[in-house]
Structure 1
Amino acid sequence: MHISKRLFPALALAFPAAPAHAADIVTPVTPETMQIEANGWTFAFSPYFWAAGLSGDVSQFGIPGTVHLSPDFGDILNNLDFAVMAIGEARYDRYSFFGDVIYTKLSIDSGTPRGILADSVDLTSQTFAGLFGAGYSVFQDGNSHLDVVGGVRVWDVRTEVSFDGGVLDGRVFSDGKTWVDAMVGLRARYDFNDNFYLTGWGMIGAGGAKVDWDVAAGLGYQFNETWSAVVGYRALGVDYDRDGFVFDAVQHGPIMGLVVRF
């Protein structure tokens, strides 16, 4: 079964498209969150938004070679069916436990030029990337701190192509992979004064992928105890190449937000 490489620009949308600050969460891609303290523990949870584009190479369905893709955030948004992006953290003294989850589902409908093999082709892409880890603060000074962190990132990338009309009417083909990468790195926050702060993180790892990395930085402003805002930039990359399935891509874009704390 041969699937035209013309379908592969749609695979760019398989990569997750996704601003941010919390007093105890140092990752720049999370907004201010409501926190609850219990017996010395602090808990926080937050959804976030990331206006990211994509560049990279993919290959699926056994097609030889790779196809280069470079959709911007607008291309991804136009085909977005559903997305969930959120982070949570539990913190006790110098110890922290956190999770960062990104899930996207995108669909593309395309007519075929001659309608012999099919009148139309539908492509659905689903991507899950979940980072789960723990950290230890090697430096603490009020809200400013530097954490050494480690964890795992779980990837699941799925693509399904279905045909309507023509010789291939009703046929459905799917391809996908799941893998896990070990990650290590640093997370930090530095307060310039009572209002302005700098926050960021950097992590790198490997496992199922040849390399998996994630960096971000943001400048935040605390208006008062209720309102805060942050602007920044995040880039996340992964290079997976096994059994003819290639997913070598970098997602990058600005992070921003105006958030209320309850």
Structure 2
Amino acid sequence: MKNPIALVSVLAAGLLAASPVRAADIYSAMAPEVNQVEKDGWTFAVSPYFWAAGMSGDTGVFGLPPVHTDMSFSDIWDELDFAAMTIGEARYDRYSIFGDVIYSKISDASGTPRGILADSVGVSSETFAGLLGGGYSVLQNDRGNLDLVAAARLWYAKTEISFNGGILDGVDRSDSATWVDALAGVRGKYSLTNNIYLTGWGLVGGGQANLDWDVAGGIGYSFNEKVSAVAGYRALGVDYSDDGFVFDVVQQGPILGVVLHF
């Protein structure tokens, strides 16, 4: 799916042609994996998911010139220490509150040519992105919904270098940055049949970063009322630079989830 944001046109067209609303039939539009229950008019969703994303772009720390990075998911997987990704939503009629959390830590170590300054150098990188937003359904019926949304995303990125052996043995240095961006866009879900549905979102904005954007699209299949599966594609980009710290990257790759409804 080379252009996930085109999914919005499909969602809107389908909703305009669909029948009147039954709010209890509407499930989360954000998540590839959704656990959802309804209570007193509210619908809640929690969605851990797997995102096999590669990364490309420019990064710079310690005031040094930026270095271009182009890593496939398999490259990242070999160096991955930990990753966690979760989406959640609370919905009441046309109103929704949603969040998205992404955290990853990768590390690598390599020997030095002569081993004078150090026998080996270790590099670790942590990235956190937490999104919180709200939305209103401008189109809503028994086939799905299309929401206008506004959100804020908190970013944290840290790189640490450690030296082992040699003259610099035991020396550690780190550089990090924290920033917040405002975003706006759309998200939605549209049921093609009783079992097959489309889902996706598109957000763009900025703030402390020059540009911050996030698009995704997917297709899901409901095996029954409690179990579904969904596959799609997500791309997320941010362009941030301040005081010698540069984080101008795009992460993209397939999303896969098993949906459990309770």
Match of 1:37 in 2: 38
1:77 Cα deviation after fit: 1.0
1:222 Cα deviation after fit: 1.3
Matches within 5 A, 1:160-179: 160-179=160-179
Deviations 1:95-118 (A, max 9, x none): 000110001111111111110110
1:143 Cα deviation after fit: 4.2
Point out where structure 1 has 5 or more consecutive residues left out of the alignment.
1-21
Residue type of the alignment partner of 1:183: L
Match of 2:209 in 1: 209
Matches within 5 A, 1:70-109: 70-109=70-109
Identity of aligned residues (%): 60
- Are the equivalent residues in 1 in contact too, given 2:32–2:231 (CA < 8 A)? no
Deviations 1:149-184 (A, max 9, x none): 001000000011110111111111000100000010
1:219 Cα deviation after fit: 1.1
Deviations 1:186-244 (A, max 9, x none): 00111111111111100001001000000000011112112211111100000001111
CA distance in 2, matches of 1:45, 1:157: 25
- Are the equivalent residues in 1 in contact too, given 2:26–2:144 (CA < 8 A)? no
Residue type of the alignment partner of 2:32: T
Normalising by structure 2, we get a TM-score of 0.88
**RMSD between aligned residues:** 1.4
Normalising by structure 1, we get a TM-score of 0.88
Q: SS at 2:77's partner residue?
A: helix
Q: Which has the higher contact order (CA 8 A, sep 6+)?
A: 2
CA distance in 1, matches of 2:251, 2:195: 30
Matched, 1:197 2:197: yes
- Are the equivalent residues in 2 in contact too, given 1:30–1:86 (CA < 8 A)? no
Q: SS at 1:75's partner residue?
A: helix
1:23 Cα deviation after fit: 5.2
CA distance in 1, matches of 2:32, 2:219: 12
- Are the equivalent residues in 1 in contact too, given 2:29–2:188 (CA < 8 A)? yes
Q: SS at 1:76's partner residue?
A: helix
Point out where structure 2 has 5 or more consecutive residues left out of the alignment.
1-24
- Are the equivalent residues in 2 in contact too, given 1:23–1:32 (CA < 8 A)? no
